[in-house]
Structure 1
Amino acid sequence: CFTHAGARRWFLIREEREGPARRTGEASKQGRRCRPGASGDRNSPAHHQLLHTDHPPSPSSPSSIQETLHSKGFIFQAFVIPISFAFVVAQEGLVRSFHRFLRRPVQLLLVISIKRRPRKGRYHRLCISVALSLSMEQLRQVGEVLGSLKALMAFQDEIRINKRQCCLLADAFDVAFEAITEEIRQNLNFDERLTKWKALEHPLKELHRVFREGEQYVRQCMEIKDWWAKAISLSQNIDCVQLHLHNLLWCIPVVLESIEAAGEISGCEEDAIYRKRLVYSKKYEKEWMDPKLFQSRFARQYLVSSNLCSRMDSVWKEDWWLLLDMISDKRRSMTKQENRLAELVEGSKGRIFPSSILVASKDYQVRRRLGNGSLCKEVQWMGESFAVRHFFGDIEPLVPEISLLSTLSHPNVMRLLCAFADDEKKECFLVMELMHKSLCEHIKEICGPRRRVPFSLPVAVDIMLQIARGMEYLHSQKICHGNLNPSNILVKTRSSAPDGHLLIKIAGIGLSSVKNSKASTNQTATNPCIWFAPEVLLEQEQTGDSGDSRYTEKADVYSFGMMCFELLTGKVPFEDGHLQGDKMSRNIRAGERPLFPFPSPKYLTNLTKRCWQTDPSQRPNFSSICRMLRYIKRFLLLNPDHSQPDPPVPPVDYYDLETSLSRRFTSWATTEPTPVSQVPFQMFAYRVVEREKTNVNIKDKSSESGSEGASVCGDENTLSSSSTLSDDPCSVPLNSLKPSAQLHSDANKKQPLKKTTANGKANVDSGQKPKGRAVRPPQLTPCGPSLRMNSESQLPPLMESPGRRKSRGHASDSEIA
């Protein structure tokens, strides 16, 4: 079955049988050449015919596929994978791919029905081609979205809201695509796209998601229906820079790094490979770790030119001025209701308007209450859906807090659009963006006996990064949350992300007198002290009142660490513990923390444990957390085998990288939010220091091996399995880039365990798996794809076999406490 991007028709391939006629070699050849849209040679005994149906079989039910094929005259047997091919299938991840394909529609799905086992080799080449051609398909899809965006921008004069931001986004996407395709043309061979481009698959998939979300933003701004509602919700909105361009500038370094990894194994000439590796190593030298030098050298590659950076800083203000001019020009022809809405748009910040503007509107309609016992309702107003927080009480003391909340604007912070009040009835209406549910509710819905962990690692890290970015912005505004927990994190499913990515917004900020009037269902069911820092619990015990506690930024970091535990494990902290009430509070102050299960990744559990340190001074700030999470997200994207029983681990501790870089760049140690234009440089600086520390560990280990009499010409050295992360350079590839290494892992495993030393003697394996390989300086680059090179290669081997890595594992993986 083949599906085409943007098409809703399914092409079903049928093979007709004509009695006992014997298939000729020419007929088989013509049948194999058949492609979607062509029917093949109809004179051959067996040909392939493409049929069309508007009702595709359900991907989740193999029986429905069988019934549909049978009703169309097909001969359906089964999905057959020969045993001789099982090793290759497992190595390339095809089992997981087919498993994923059967559960939702995809761009390319190949269903094979056979009667007998095919000749060895033909099935092998077919499956490998399907698995490895996805990188080119992802690149094509990115270009498809860019073409759609260019078609929209042909009518940019019709954009009436955030026109300058839409133009900036389109220009940035255009420059990014040109830079990426230029790098691909210079570093990769098109003829090798089926065999050596696999490292690009997941980074390009992430880039495709970024492009789709940006295109949807432009579509939303171009929609002319319900213009006043869009003016209220999109004016003073900075999602273009802080959300879409942030994601783009984070993704570009990862895509470029994957191109470099694929480029190291591209081509057949050793001299050309050597030169490319030398060029890549020179790129990540310490001399470029200066923001100005980086901008002058890599401005086009990383989208940090002075023109784009200046536009990022001013584009929001320009759109705001254009909107005010547009409203001013329409003043004379406006109705009375439109004049009220114009005043609402022009002066929404810090003002509280009469409730009659909202309630007396003809199209104002209350839909439903949001949550049990919540003060929020979903309403329909001016053709759009909003969330309204409706409460009663004295409004005058709340005016300063409401004015402060109306000035907040960040993609990951719940935004107050406008406020209405009735002084006589003492009621207040706060209009906000509509979200789907809380993070607590979402986790409860998706978790179950068959799915104990709510999110995959990439999705969990993405959620953690969004929460950290929102808190980074709040702390830069001198606002401490004080009640950070999953009930105050609101989520919305992204329609462009079928892989489970969510849009996160932090709620529950301010209006403490209103919050304390009615407790949420989750807080009554769960002891709220599990989210509070030890110093906050101590103060509550001393004062006897939780409402008067002085919350700090580091207390929010502690709460964030507890939420990370729930995101990674699906368990509420201490839910299976024996401590309740005062005992739990006392033990938390004494240092007790929840325990991670065994398979938890070390690099994420370490970060979580840093956040919930008992000493507040030992906890990182949210700016540092954001930088570390961005780099962890990059690591997961370049190493897609993180869900395997023995997943890859980073070569260094990212907290150590952050500490050393914060000492070098004093601006990193502040709590100010990172400018979006600085994200590529921060990713680059992390990469440079990571390479430096890894190479130092390599040299230290190489010298230790040399002192023990080991050869420096490629002999196998046995390394201790209990060595630490910093002392074991061969536990992972130097660039932490596993996809490029897996392209030929099957060929690597077939090589015999008989090595030839420099003296010409054979080193025969004695039944014990080799643990590592001594290397010789200088190390040109940590992106070494030396899996196709035998011991006679002229290049220094920079990476050990993935099979050898996995056979050994890492000692720190078992250290949970």
Structure 2
Amino acid sequence: MASSFFLILAESSINREKNKLFSFPGFSFSDAVMDQLQQIGEVLGNLKVLMVFKDEIHINQRQCRLLSDAYNIAFEGIIEEMQLNLKFDEKNTKWSALENPLRELHRVMKEGKQYIKNCLEPKDFWAKAISLNHNTDCVNFHLHNLLSCISIVYEAIENAGEISGCDHEEINKKRLIHSKKYDQDWLDQKLFQIKYGKRYLVSQELSSRLDSVTKEDRWNLSEAISERKRSSKHENQLAEIVLSPKGKLFPVSILVGSKDYFVRRRLSTGRKYKEIHWLGESFVLGHFIGDVEPLLEDISLSSSISHPNVMHYMYAFCDEEKKECFLVMELMNKDLASYIKEICCTRRRIPFPLIVAVDIMLQVAIGMEYLHSRQIYHGDLNPSNILVKTRNSSHDGYLHIKIAEFSLSSGKKLKGSTGYERIWYAPEVLMEESTSKYSEKADVYSFGMICFELLTGKVPFEDDHLQGDKTSRNVRAGERPLFPFPSPRCLTSLTKRCWQAEPAQRPSFTSVVRVLRYIKRFLIMNMDNNLLDLPCPAVDYFEIDMKLSKKFIETARVSDIPFQMFCYRVIERERCSLYLKEKSSDSGSEGTSTYGDDSGFNMMIHDDSFVSPLPLRRSSSQMCLDVGSKSSPRKIDKKAVKQSGQTPKGRTKRPPPLLNLRGRSLNLKSNSQLTPPATMTPGRRRISGHKSDSELA
């Protein structure tokens, strides 16, 4: 009976969502955009069914309610904007810009629904309290992804809306309205919140809930535990574990004495990690033998950390007589290095689709930004210390990333490290051969090397067989790995900024996060293009970030994301408009508009089909793809096209097979290959000798 009731309720909620969504006459599910809307409606319908039983969510109930409310508010706003700006009879010709942003929104909402479902599952109260007590995924992961995505969806609606209809005067008025929205006067966070807060889910009310909901749930949990009747000594011990300050050591008997505790398997021989079963859940258990005293500082540090992209010690147990320490952590699948090695093969040279690679970069950067905000420097950031777990069962390749193996008191030394380990260290660290140079900028350098492997599937320098002291010597001399095949310039540029020889020239992780978030937005808006046909961003995002950095709060919150992306969009439109006006002036064409402010964009729009209003430079290996080879850019581009089995104009939703070229290294101090690229800014000073470093803006 209960299951029948649940099915009837689910069907009813889904139908209500569909009726709300598809109030357009003549609706057909055969259209791609409408298919995406239908799938989102089904997720929201299922979510409404789950929230009927919200009172049964005993752990993180307020976070689940906030997430559900945010999804529904976001969707209602999107439907309202579509009804105001779009014409249904143009869905097959002018709505194509919405397909990929809505697909991303569906993926984000589907993951959030699964989070709420997990919180609602009828598990043992103590098991859920132990596993979810320190979880901050609701705000820092699911709502983070929603706020990043909602800006992209609204931008896509605006782009489609600007060309909706056939009346040229009406179209020009729409463009004028949109251009006024992106006026410099709105580059103030308070004004932005007043004007656009509700639409972008950062109204004063929602922002206040974002900031307080996690603390409220923890307080509610402590109250529930205090009032809960405990029938055994074991329950009293579990209550003490949940309510005690983070980092406190408990007797190991509480863990191993549990009736359902057992070891499933060993995960590592050297590090002594095991997968255990405890309270009906699977965890990782770190088993360390020796004096516990030296570990106390690291235990306290790691236990105080709470972020979706950083691994932390959930609970710590010790046996003082045997001098053993047991650290309980979340279970992940494997480390990133092993994962890349496992999925790469001769037929699959790039380990991830480009959008997934950027998502991984973004998660790593966000995790490192969090650590650096707490004055914690990793010092050994490499793919072996990044743990991964698949995020869903749809086989889209997305992973959940957690940074591990950071420490305050590990006392890392380089003298005994291998050549593989040394390739991730910054030149200044290799120069000192000690931990004295571990810093924020050294971590950024290591991150650049990780980006290289994510984009190419190659371990840096692996084709040069650098070992030990030779690695250190060459890296200190300025050698960096060379991209073996074409890669998007916006990503190779970011990578090379991060591995600059001079630490001061490397960006902070805060800047890297903002830039990667906007690069991800760019890829979502252009996801239908293959690698060789990907348009090139019209502006340098790091230049935008430098211009806007003073407007952003140093310790950004999740609720700041829409404002940051809005500011990027304002400057991007301004730069593009100036670019087009200058181009029009140089060519002698008038190219003016009766509405002035956005005249450059009017030149880029055709009435019969959607074209991005940005003057995106069409891809070529000279302009948009960094080609790490001594061959000429044109020659490399032809090879790539030939191997992909397409003409240069051909398009596919999957990246073509990449070049079968051996990866090489390039000495930054060599001048033999310093041929300025076609898009190099005149007069820009070359920072280092890498072939493409001069392209950095």
TM-score per shorter chain, which class?
0.7 to 0.9
Matched, 1:630 2:535: no
2:598 match: 779
Distance 2:294 2:271 in 1: 22
1:680 match: 562
Which gives a bigger RCO, structure 1 or 2 (Cα 8 Å, sep 6+)?
Answer: 2
1:221 match: 119
Give the C-alpha shift of residue 227 in structure 1.
Answer: 2.3
2:423 aligned counterpart, secondary structure: helix
**Residue 806 to residue 660, structure 1, CA distance change in 2 (3 Å):** closer
Matched, 1:536 2:429: yes
1:337 aligned counterpart, secondary structure: helix
Which structure has the larger Rg?
A: 1
Question: Aligned partner of 1:676: which letter?
Answer: V
Matches within 5 A, 1:527-676: 527-540=420-433, 546=434, 548-662=435-549, 664-665=550-551, 667-668=552-553, 670=554, 672=555, 674-676=556-558
Q: 464, 474, 479: which is aligned to 2:376?
A: 479
Distance 2:400 2:515 in 1: 20
Identity of aligned residues (%): 59
1:356 match: 253
1:433 match: 330
**Residue 799 to residue 567, structure 1, CA distance change in 2 (3 Å):** closer
**Residue 530 to residue 276, structure 1, CA distance change in 2 (3 Å):** same
Q: Do the aligned residues in 2 keep the contact of 1:175 with 1:303 (CA within 8 Å)?
A: yes
Give the C-alpha shift of residue 283 in structure 1.
Answer: 1.0
Matched, 1:693 2:591: no
1:387 aligned counterpart, secondary structure: strand
Distance 1:480 1:383 in 2: 35
Give the C-alpha shift of residue 143 in structure 1.
Answer: 1.3
**Residue 159 to residue 699, structure 1, CA distance change in 2 (3 Å):** same
Give the C-alpha shift of residue 182 in structure 1.
Answer: 0.4
Q: 358, 365, 385: which is aligned to 1:468?
A: 365
2:590 match: 712
Give the C-alpha shift of residue 618 in structure 1.
Answer: 0.7
Give the C-alpha shift of residue 232 in structure 1.
Answer: 1.1
Instruction: Give the TM-score normalised by the residue count of structure 1.
Output: 0.70
Matched, 1:181 2:79: yes
Distance 2:396 2:129 in 1: 31
Q: Do the aligned residues in 1 keep the contact of 2:591 with 2:599 (CA within 8 Å)?
A: no
Give the C-alpha shift of residue 641 in structure 1.
Answer: 3.6
Question: Aligned partner of 1:614: which letter?
Answer: A
Q: Do the aligned residues in 2 keep the contact of 1:261 with 1:784 (CA within 8 Å)?
A: no
1:765 match: none
RMSD: 2.8
Distance 1:336 1:515 in 2: 42
1:460 aligned counterpart, secondary structure: helix
Question: Aligned partner of 2:90: which letter?
Answer: E
Q: Do the aligned residues in 1 keep the contact of 2:29 with 2:35 (CA within 8 Å)?
A: no
Matched, 1:140 2:38: yes
Describe the superposition over 1:21-64 as per-residue Cα deviations: whole angstroms up to 9, x where unpaired: xxxxxxxxxxxxxxxxxxxxxxxxxxxxxxxxxxxxxxxxxxxx
Question: Aligned partner of 2:281: which letter?
Answer: E
Distance 1:497 1:508 in 2: 30
Describe the superposition over 1:756-793 as per-residue Cα deviations: whole angstroms up to 9, x where unpaired: xxxxxxxxxxxxxxxxxx99965347487633469xxx
Describe the superposition over 1:75-134 as per-residue Cα deviations: whole angstroms up to 9, x where unpaired: xxxxxxxxxxxxxxxxxxxxxxxxxxxxxxxxxxxxxxxxxxxxxxxxxxxxxx999811
Matches within 5 A, 1:503-514: 503-510=400-407, 513=410
**Residue 789 to residue 138, structure 1, CA distance change in 2 (3 Å):** closer
Distance 2:521 2:603 in 1: 18
Give the C-alpha shift of residue 434 in structure 1.
Answer: 0.2
Question: Aligned partner of 2:432: which letter?
Answer: E
Distance 1:713 1:450 in 2: 48
**Residue 201 to residue 372, structure 1, CA distance change in 2 (3 Å):** farther
Give the C-alpha shift of residue 137 in structure 1.
Answer: 0.7
Q: 293, 302, 305: which is aligned to 1:396?
A: 293
Distance 1:798 1:352 in 2: 59
Give the C-alpha shift of residue 381 in structure 1.
Answer: 0.6
Distance 2:594 2:481 in 1: 42
Matched, 1:197 2:95: yes
1:771 match: none
* Structure 1 residues without counterparts, runs of 5 or longer: 1-6, 8-128, 541-545, 715-773, 791-795
Matched, 1:442 2:345: no
Give the C-alpha shift of residue 482 in structure 1.
Answer: 0.6
Q: Do the aligned residues in 2 keep the contact of 1:489 with 1:504 (CA within 8 Å)?
A: yes
**Residue 130 to residue 549, structure 1, CA distance change in 2 (3 Å):** farther
2:459 aligned counterpart, secondary structure: coil
2:532 aligned counterpart, secondary structure: coil
Matched, 1:343 2:240: yes
**Count of residues in correspondence between the two structures:** 604
Matched, 1:810 2:623: yes
Describe the superposition over 1:397-443 as per-residue Cα deviations: whole angstroms up to 9, x where unpaired: 21122112111000000121100000111111100000000000100
Instruction: Give the TM-score normalised by the residue count of structure 2.
Output: 0.82
2:387 match: 490
1:459 aligned counterpart, secondary structure: helix
Question: Aligned partner of 2:584: which letter?
Answer: S
Q: Do the aligned residues in 2 keep the contact of 1:199 with 1:259 (CA within 8 Å)?
A: yes
For structure 1, which segment, 227-236 or 321-330, has the greater mean C-alpha deviation from structure 2 after superposition?
227-236
2:143 aligned counterpart, secondary structure: helix
**Residue 453 to residue 633, structure 1, CA distance change in 2 (3 Å):** same
Q: Do the aligned residues in 1 keep the contact of 2:97 with 2:525 (CA within 8 Å)?
A: yes
Distance 1:132 1:599 in 2: 36
* Structure 2 residues without counterparts, runs of 5 or longer: 1-6, 8-26, 627-632, 634-676, 678-690, 693-697
Q: Do the aligned residues in 1 keep the contact of 2:577 with 2:600 (CA within 8 Å)?
A: no
